[in-house]
Amino acid sequence: MQIKIQKDNKIGIITVNRPESLNAMNKDVIIEFISRVDELLLDEDIKVIIITGSGEKAFIAGADIKLMQKMSKKDAHEFAILGHKLTNVIENSDKPVIAAVNGFALGGGCEVALACHIRVASDNAIFAQPEVKIGLLPGWGGTQRLPRIVGKGLANELIITGRNITAQEAQQIGLVNKVVSKEELINSCLDIANLIIKNSPNAVSNSIKLINLSSGTELAEGLLKEAKTFSELFETEETTEGLTAFVEKRSPKY
């Protein structure tokens, strides 16, 4: 099994399990990855998803370069679209997805992390979009998501130099939310997940949708959508429970 799943206390952990190749991904791995994400999205008991890599050396060290060396233009296009399918299902998940980045997050691995809603890195993590070094460019969303997260200027620098950045620099530029020790990585992500689980799942999922919408929407249009979604929540049981619980000074039951 190249993609492992662990379910515990409303949290699903997806682990890319190819440590012998630094968790690099080929077509079969991506297809299995998508299937595993879909499985957790359909599981009503799961409220938060964490993605990580097996071992301490790598989160995901990108795509399989030996495989790419043999690709035709048609093969490459299909491979890019498959990568987009994976990163899109992560980004558009109505359940929060946290990247637990342990070690190398290079190329496609960095792009998978970019698609997650929250990124936590171990202090030995290394990020890069090094595709230009081998005559390519980021093909799984890096040219589109990285500028939205760190800004156009920094995205230009990172993509066209292809240089590595440390976890600490990644935090400084807003690429990751938090840096912790290797030993604390998963527990830190679980702590964040448990904070999220206490909240209204409906409110969380709608917040994610509106935040995603902000990237490609004029402010006025986004504000209209926000106001509409805000008002619609008042007709849901979760919002009624949340407001009532606050007034009654008790924890809500979602």
7 domain residue, yes or no: yes
Q: Is there a catalytic annotation at residue 131?
A: yes
Q: How far apart are CA 182 and CA 28, in angstroms?
A: 29
Average pLDDT, the chain: 96
- Can you give the residue range of the structural domain that contains 94? 3-197
252 domain residue, yes or no: no
Q: What is the mean pLDDT of residues 144-161?
A: 97
Q: How far apart are CA 13 and CA 40, in angstroms?
A: 9
161 domain residue, yes or no: yes
Q: What is the mean pLDDT of residues 8-32?
A: 94
pTM: 0.95
Q: Are residues 160 and 240 located together in one domain of the fold? A: no
Question: Does residue 62 have a pLDDT over 90?
Answer: no
Q: Are residues 187 and 140 located together in one domain of the fold? A: yes
Q: In this structure, is the dihedral angle defined by the CA atoms of residues 155, 161, 166 and 172, taken in order, positive or negative?
A: negative
For 92, the token pair is: 């558009």
Question: Does residue 16 have a pLDDT over 90?
Answer: yes
* More confident position, 216 or 95: 95
Catalytic site residue from 20, 56, 111, 232: 111
Q: What is the pLDDT of residues 66-85, one digit of tens each?
A: 888 999 999 999 999 999 99
Q: What is the pLDDT of residues 107-139, one digit of tens each?
A: 999 999 999 999 999 999 999 999 999 999 999
Q: Are residues 116 and 234 located together in one domain of the fold? A: no
Q: What is the pLDDT of residues 203-229, one digit of tens each?
A: 999 999 999 999 889 999 999 999 999
Confidence of residue 63 (pLDDT cuts 50, 70, 90): confident
Instruction: Read off the CATH number of the domain in which 231 is found.
Output: 1.10.12
42 domain residue, yes or no: yes
- The total domain count for the chain is 2
Catalytic site residue from 32, 131, 226, 232: 131
Least confident span in 166-175, 213-222, 229-238: 213-222
Beta strand spans in 17-160 (E): 48-53, 58-60, 97-101, 104-106, 118-122, 126-128
Instruction: Read off the CATH number of the domain in which 64 is found.
Output: 3.90.226.10
